[in-house]
Amino acid sequence: MKRKLPVRHLIAALAMMLAVQPAGAFFGGGGGIKEGDPAPMFSGQTIDNQRLDYAQLKGKKVVLLDFWSIYCASCIEEMPKLIGIYNEFRDKGLVVIGVNLDSFGTHRVVKFMDGMETKINFPVVIDKDRKIGTMFGAMVLPTTLVIDVTGKVRFFHVGYKQGDEKQLRSVVAQAVKEIRK
């Protein structure tokens, strides 16, 4: 016979897990991706029903991947900064891809995005089964990565606080300089 843990023990364990995580949303899962590792190949469906495949970008573009949720306050706070970086570097070889990890699908995410003050102008993939998130170890949101043109993870950052975008911008600026034209 299985013994059930008292609810107070489960709540205490969850509180301990969340207490040691950076600010943001916790999504479980996980991989071991770190800076310097090759980025896994991934693909997904965007909110406008387009197929997005990293294989078509590798060797040609710098990719900024941002894992987020509409329920993650720091994700939403970070979003205008990502849009600004995208606007600054998209003509220099940067592609930004938002990977939304909300499990309820596209409609609610699109409705939320339509209501945002600063509109997201880069592709957003819905990863409701969290396959891409798991590949990249996006356990806490936001998780932001920069993949250079050679396919190496150049930057891996968990969470967001005001000012984090300065380092992200610097990494992107360096990575786009390295694209062979």
Taking residues 66-89, report their average pLDDT: 97
Query: From the CA atom positions of the chain, what is the Rg in Å?
Result: 17
- Quick one: tokens of 67? 């894992």
> How far is C-alpha 75 from the chain's CA centre?
9
- pLDDT, tens digit (0-9, with 9 covering 90-100), for 94-147: 999 999 999 987 999 999 999 999 999 999 999 999 999 999 999 999 999 999
Taking residues 166-178, report their average pLDDT: 98
* Residues written for the chain: 181
Q: What percent of the chain has pLDDT over 70?
A: 82
74-77 — which CB contacts under 8 Å span 24+ positions?
74/23, 74/24, 74/141, 74/142, 74/159, 74/160, 74/161, 75/24, 75/25, 75/141, 75/142, 75/160, 76/116, 77/160, 77/162
- Quick one: tokens of 109? 């995410």
- Quick one: tokens of 60? 């040609």
State the pLDDT confidence band at 6, using cuts at 50, 70 and 90. low
Listed residue (163, 170, 175) closest to 39, CA to CA: 175
In which residue are the tokens 């694209």 written? 179
The class level of CATH for 24-177 reads: alpha beta
- pLDDT, tens digit (0-9, with 9 covering 90-100), for 8-63: 444 434 333 333 333 444 444 445 799 999 999 999 999 999 999 999 999 999 99
